Amino acid sequence: MITPDKILTYWILVWYILYMFKIVHINPKFPLIMGLFINIIMLMIIIRVSDPVNIFYFLIIVSITKIIPILTLWNSQIHTVDIYYTGVVVFIYLLWLYVTDSMYNPITALVQSVKSYKPTNPGMYLLHYLFDKYLYKNPPNIPSS
């Protein structure tokens, strides 16, 4: 499974939480909107290669990580400094991937995940786990690491 530190969405989600608790003052609305556009493209790919259950899980993850945060920031303005800091965060993220030797293509990883029905994204894995355990009453198959 891909760890959360390798997924830019989780970095931006942490940034959003820090912003909401007024720990940081740089607005994450710009990267959230850009991420939503990327997720719409990813959704079009997933629709072609996956089943309705994985599409549903993906939509839940996008709602939690992008749509709800964007709606809570709806009336806030995006300033030039917010865009610059987005670039800084993306640069640090890419540097982190390079340092940890984890360069991968997130779209390819997602498509492989939904094709194989084995979630590799922590959010998708959590949803599979919770739905299997509590909704479907199936004991989840937890892979040993």
Q: What pLDDT is recorded for position 113?
A: 65
In a domain, 142, yes or no: no
- One-character DSSP codes across 84-138: HHHHHHHHHHHHHHHHTT----HHHHHHHHHHHT---SHHHHHHHHHIIIIIS-P
Would you say residue 144 lies in a domain?
no
8, 126 in Cβ contact below 8 A? no
In a domain, 143, yes or no: no
Look at residue 20 in the predicted model and tell me its pLDDT. Answer: 97
Would 40 be classed as within a structural domain?
yes
Would 41 be classed as within a structural domain? yes
How many domains, the chain? 1
3-state SS string for 2-68: CCHHHCHHHHHHHHHHHHHCCCCCCCCHHHHHHHHHHHHHHHHHHHHHCCHHHHHHHHHHHHHHHHH
Do the domain assignments include residue 123? yes
pLDDT at 37: 96
Does residue 29 belong to any structural domain of this protein? Answer: yes
Domain interval for residue 124 = 4-135
Query: One digit per residue, pLDDT tens: the chain, 145 residues?
Result: 778 888 899 999 999 999 999 999 999 999 999 999 999 998 998 888 878 888 888 899 999 999 999 999 999 999 999 999 999 999 999 888 888 877 666 666 666 666 666 666 788 778 778 877 777 666 555 555 4
The predicted model scores a pTM of: 0.82
With respect to residue 86, please indicate whether it lies within any of the assigned structural domains.
Answer: yes
**pLDDT at res. 83:** 96
